Structure 1
Amino acid sequence: MSLQPGKSSAPRKNDRFSSTGFILAAIGSSVGLGNMWKFPYITGEHGGAAFFLLFIICLIIIGLPVLLAELAIGRAGRGSAATSYVKAGGPTAFAPFGLLQVITPFIILSIYTIIAGWTLHYAVQSFTGKLFTNADFGSQFTAFTGGYMPLVWQTAAIALTMFVVGKGISGGIEKFNKVLIPGLVILLIILMIRAVTLPGAGEGVSFFLNPDFSKLSAEAALVALGHAFFSLSLGMGILLTYGAYVDKRQSLGPATVAIGVGDLIYALIAGLIIFPTTFSFGIAPDAGPSLVFVALPAAFSAMPLGSFFGGLFFILLAIAALTSAVSLLEVPVAYVMERWRFSRTKAVIICGVVLLIIGLPSVLSFGMIDSLTTIGSKSFFDWVDFITSNILLPIGGLVTTIFAGYYWKGAADAAGLKAGWFKVWLFTLRYIAPVLVLLVLLHTSGILKF
């Protein structure tokens, strides 16, 4: 979409998602780094398959109803995330919360593009073999993140994201996902086959697929619920924004299920890549984020054609990161176009430059500047991650459930559900989702402890 200053910024008919393009774009926003970077280690911490089953339950009972609510609100409002609640017919009191769902993804993107840059760097290093010239992968990672090169790679990730978003909805985001999502699937299958055929991989598959319910706890349930929210991109304005580009003839119920299934399959295959590999090489599955950039390179270095499979793995991560980054950037771009009536190109450039500036403290907080490396108990990067993931996202989800459950008179028409399903959906949004999301907020913010 290319809008000239002074013209309406409402989504145009000729720049909306096709039915397939919308589902692929929404899946692209959900299959980000979370299920490959975060899901394996939280699953490892909370008992493997039992936690995975808990995650599935959370996805179905809470995740999908809230996902449907966000899409329906976005389509009814036909504006940016900042104005969707009011344009859909809600009270103006919800306007600040809509604006919050523009600010949140922008802040997330400031650190998300840093990790996306890491994946691009590691893909190049792996394919060229340079990653494996030094067996001390921990020191390699520390030296890399503590230098200036991550800023270069972050800039590259931002530039790629800006290029795609600058092309518009149908010509940019949709085409991008139509190419990369099938490519992502192919890479997932190749890496899964390689992982499950490694010596000793069966133990990892067993850990992932055989549930041990004794490991479950109230904390595990809240972690699973929080991850369901994060992995579906809920509470961050993406689905409100994408909903505005969905044709009114698109059935949102089946689309919501398709997005949830795509997210679930991605999580499943991610587990079948990570756990067989870690168990095969004696790596702890709950090693935390260092699992991806320290432990797994050690595993790739020890397997036949390790440079090739390591390169494929980091290309997979880069694709997952960029498809999500595109969705995150579209949220503030849509707002800037709507608020100041800028052209898409101008809005993308403004957002990209500001994004690079506000990301500087985070990218420099890995050892370059001591005052940013340690602020209390966390680095600047970790504080940004903590505030957005653990506080702002649950608040966004909570606002959506309260709005759709209690204030939105047009919910029935917008959701397009049959009477029976609508009653179940509304009951969930009124009485179940708000309570559980509030518990997640209290837990992730540190107020509620176990």
Structure 2
Amino acid sequence: MPKQPRTLESKDQFSSSGFILAAIGSAVGLGNMWKFPYITGMYGGAAFFLLFIVCLVAIGLPVLLAELTIGRGGRGSAASSFVKVGGNRAWGGMGMLSVIGAFMIMSFYAIIAGWTLYYAVRAFSGKLFTNPDYTGQFASFTSGYSPILWQVVVLALTAWIVARGVSGGIEKFNKVLIPGLLLLLVILMIRALTLPGAMDGVSFFLKPDFSKLTAESALVALGHAFFSLSLGMGAMLTYGSYVQKEQSLGSATLAIGGGDLLYALIAGLIIFPTTFSFGIDNAQGPGLVFMALPAAFSAMPFGSLFGGLFFILLAIAALTSTVSLLEVPVAYAMERLQWGRTRSVLLITAGCFLLGIPSALSFGAAPGLNFGGKAFFDWMDFLASNVLLPLGGLIVTLFAGYFWKSVGDEAGLSARWFRLWLFMLRYVAPVLVLFVFLHSAGIIKF
């Protein structure tokens, strides 16, 4: 007889506070500290930030609640939960997009996380600041073989946490590191706000100039609101399967969204005062963190300390996300293949490592891996982030909005809030997610 999927109903579960901290940890990854500042700088500062908040409410929170509701209703992996609540096996194939997407993202996300650990060690030791050519330093590091070593460190730490289980590993890890993350954020924010000229950066970030908004910036804000909450990759859906029935999903959704927004706000109050104080172009793109900010840290008192704390902050944010990413395929393997947690973690981590090697080497060590004008890393990022995740989010909205008839019973909302949520899922979120997909895929351009 074929193996039957294993239910997660009687399995390890989060406590109420543990779930919210773990979900916030999944949401507040590198995107908010690495990507959010430079896209905010590129698309209008405070005006873009306000637009991001609107998009977070309009698209992020409704889809987040839908993912959590499907997860808790199905009590299964990101693939099987759709089948269990929808009653049609075809939905399992749709859910597999999230499992595949999480696996792919984990393979290259661990590489960037490794960069942050490497930079933290270099900053604390002072070696990062001995050579003022930070662009050259970054290029030399990423074009060699060292990133593979740091990728292994990240994967090993992530695997160790996930192998310890939901309450004994993921929850305990987030209960320690999320408060630690907040402490580091506050310390670095205070340091940034006391720099000479810092208030110019604060003004850029918090005083909107709506003339700078364009259709392009609106789509970028939509996309970041979607991705900053870890939507479409099965992480929130999988975490939802471990949530107790007594937990209010509506309140949890607001808490997670609020945590994500607070993190983005403090990140902006670190980055922009620092860039304005030292005359750094805050719109220069992904290199802002690894090539521009080290110059600022080198020029400030106790720069090694604050630079090290900054990159440790990035590393912690990355690890809280890698843990949630790895749990998605691990939960699927445990349920569908009937593997134990340790075996699932080891084999899937090994797979992520092998798939990640071409990405790690595509920055220069193995240029033959690049094709079609893109590095292998960029192709993986494009396929996962611009194709699989928006499609996964679109499936969630359509499933919860149209196909799951008893979705309201599981969501536990009042009649008024349920009607509003259902309206957003049916008529607003799918359209916005579709626009995000078309823009991310390069089909819509301005």
After TM superposition, the score normalised by the length of structure 2 is 0.98
* Structure 1 equivalent of residue 25 of structure 2: 28
Q: Does 1:270 align with 2:264?
A: no
Letter of the 2:433 counterpart:
V
Instruction: Quote the Cα distance in structure 2 between the aligned partners of 1:221 and 1:24.
Output: 29
Instruction: Quote the Cα distance in structure 2 between the aligned partners of 1:204 and 1:57.
Output: 22
CA contact (8 A) 1:278 1:296 kept: yes
* Structure 1 equivalent of residue 347 of structure 2: 350
Instruction: Quote the Cα distance in structure 2 between the aligned partners of 1:11 and 1:319.
Output: 28
* Structure 2 equivalent of residue 3 of structure 1: none
Superposition pairs of residues 18-417 of structure 1, within 5 angstroms: 18-372=15-369, 374-417=370-413
CA contact (8 A) 1:49 1:208 kept: yes
* Length, aligned pairs only: 444
**Range that drifts further, 403-412 or 172-181:** 403-412
Instruction: Quote the Cα distance in structure 1 between the aligned partners of 2:197 and 2:347.
Output: 51
CA deviation after TM superposition for structure 1 residue 8, in Å: 7.3
RMSD between aligned alpha carbons?
1.1
Deviations 1:141-171 (A, max 9, x none): 1111111111000000000000000000000
**Range that drifts further, 91-100 or 156-165:** 91-100
Letter of the 1:71 counterpart:
L
Letter of the 2:380 counterpart:
V
Instruction: Quote the Cα distance in structure 1 between the aligned partners of 2:394 and 2:252.
Output: 22
CA contact (8 A) 2:4 2:336 kept: no
Instruction: Quote the Cα distance in structure 1 between the aligned partners of 2:241 and 2:363.
Output: 38
Q: Structure 1 residues 90, 425: closer, same or farther in 2, change over 3 A?
A: farther
Instruction: Quote the Cα distance in structure 1 between the aligned partners of 2:92 and 2:10.
Output: 26
Helix, strand or coil for the counterpart of 1:288? coil
CA deviation after TM superposition for structure 1 residue 92, in Å: 2.4
CA contact (8 A) 2:79 2:91 kept: no
Helix, strand or coil for the counterpart of 2:247? coil
Match of 2:415 among 402, 419, 428: 419
Letter of the 1:441 counterpart:
F
Deviations 1:8-53 (A, max 9, x none): 7432546100000000000000010000110001101110000000
Structure 1, unaligned stretches of length 5 or more? 1-5
Helix, strand or coil for the counterpart of 1:15? coil
CA deviation after TM superposition for structure 1 residue 406, in Å: 0.5
Helix, strand or coil for the counterpart of 2:174? helix
Seq. identity, %: 69
CA contact (8 A) 2:274 2:296 kept: yes
CA contact (8 A) 2:67 2:236 kept: yes
Runs of 4+ in 1 over 3 A off after TM superposition: 6-9
**Range that drifts further, 119-128 or 375-384:** 375-384
Match of 1:437 among 429, 433, 437: 433
CA contact (8 A) 2:102 2:233 kept: yes
After TM superposition, the score normalised by the length of structure 1 is 0.97
Instruction: Quote the Cα distance in structure 1 between the aligned partners of 2:371 and 2:54.
Output: 37
Instruction: Quote the Cα distance in structure 1 between the aligned partners of 2:30 and 2:434.
Output: 25
CA contact (8 A) 1:127 1:308 kept: yes
Letter of the 1:187 counterpart:
L
Deviations 1:238-291 (A, max 9, x none): 011011100111110000000000000000000000000011111111111110
Letter of the 1:256 counterpart:
T
**Range that drifts further, 204-213 or 385-394:** 385-394
CA contact (8 A) 2:198 2:274 kept: yes
Letter of the 1:423 counterpart:
R
Instruction: Quote the Cα distance in structure 1 between the aligned partners of 2:86 and 2:445.
Output: 38
Letter of the 2:404 counterpart:
W
CA deviation after TM superposition for structure 1 residue 84, in Å: 1.1
